[in-house]
Chains A and B, each alone.
Chain A
Amino acid sequence: MMNDGTDPLELFWRFAQPAVPSVEEERTALARLQEAIDTETALPTNRRQRWVRVVPALAALGLVVALVAALLVARPGPAVAALAEIARAARQAEPLDVPDGSFIYRQSEALNLVVRPGSDLGLDRPFVAYLLPTRQETWRQPATRFYRAATTIGTPRFFDDQVATAYQANNGSALDRVGETIIEQFVDAIDPVLETDWPIEPTALRQEMESQLAEGADGRLLEVQLFDLAADILRDNVDSHLRAAVLEVLADLPIDVLDRYGDGAVTIAITYQTHLTTRDTLTITSDGILLSESTVWLDSNPGLETPAVTAITKITYKPPRIVSQLPTS
Chain B
Amino acid sequence: MTDERSDAEVIAASWVEPEIFGELFRRHYRAVYAYAVRTVGPEDGSDVAAEVFVRAFGARRRFDTNYSGARPWLLGIAAHLVSNHYRKQGRQARAIDRLRKHAEMATGFETEIVDRLAAQMAGDTLRKALANLRRQEWEVVSLFALSGLSYREISQALGISEGTVKSRLNRGRTNLRNLLRGFGELVGDDSDE
Contact = CB atoms under 8 A, between A and B. Distances in A.
Interface of A: 1-2, 4, 6-9, 11-13, 15-17, 19-21, 25-26, 28-30, 32-34, 36-37, 40-41, 108, 110, 112-113, 134, 136, 138, 145, 147, 149, 151, 184-193, 211-220, 225, 231-232, 235-236, 273-275, 293, 295, 312-313, 315
Interface in B41-97: 42, 45-46, 49-51, 53-59, 62, 76-77, 79-81, 84, 89-92, 94-96
B49 A186 contact: no
Contact of A1 (B94, B135, B184): B184
Main secondary structure of the interface of B (DSSP, over half): helix
Contacts of A188: 103
B57 A184 contact: no
B25 A29 contact: yes
Contacts, number: 202
B135 A15 contact: no
Interface of B: 18-19, 21-22, 25, 29-30, 33-34, 37-38, 42, 45-46, 49-51, 53-59, 62, 76-77, 79-81, 84, 89-92, 94-96, 98-100, 102-107, 119-120, 122-123, 125-126, 129-130, 132, 135-136, 139, 141, 144-146, 157-160, 173, 176-177, 180-181, 183-184, 187-188
A212 to B, nearest CB: 6
A235 B94 CA distance: 10
A36 B76 contact: no
Contact of A19 (B45, B62, B99, B125): B45
A13 B106 CA distance: 29
Contacts of A220: 55, 59
Contact of A217 (B19, B76, B141, B176): B76
A315 B104 CA distance: 26
B25 A36 contact: no
Contact of B95 (A2, A11, A26, A149): A149
10 contacts: A11-B126, A15-B122, A30-B29, A32-B50, A110-B91, A110-B92, A189-B99, A216-B59, A217-B76, A275-B58
Contact of A33 (B25, B45, B139): B25
Contacts of B96: 147, 149, 184
B92 A136 contact: yes
Contact of A29 (B53, B77, B98): B53
Chain A CB within 10 Å, residue with most, of B30, B57, B92, B135: B92
A187 B49 CA distance: 30
A275 B54 contact: yes
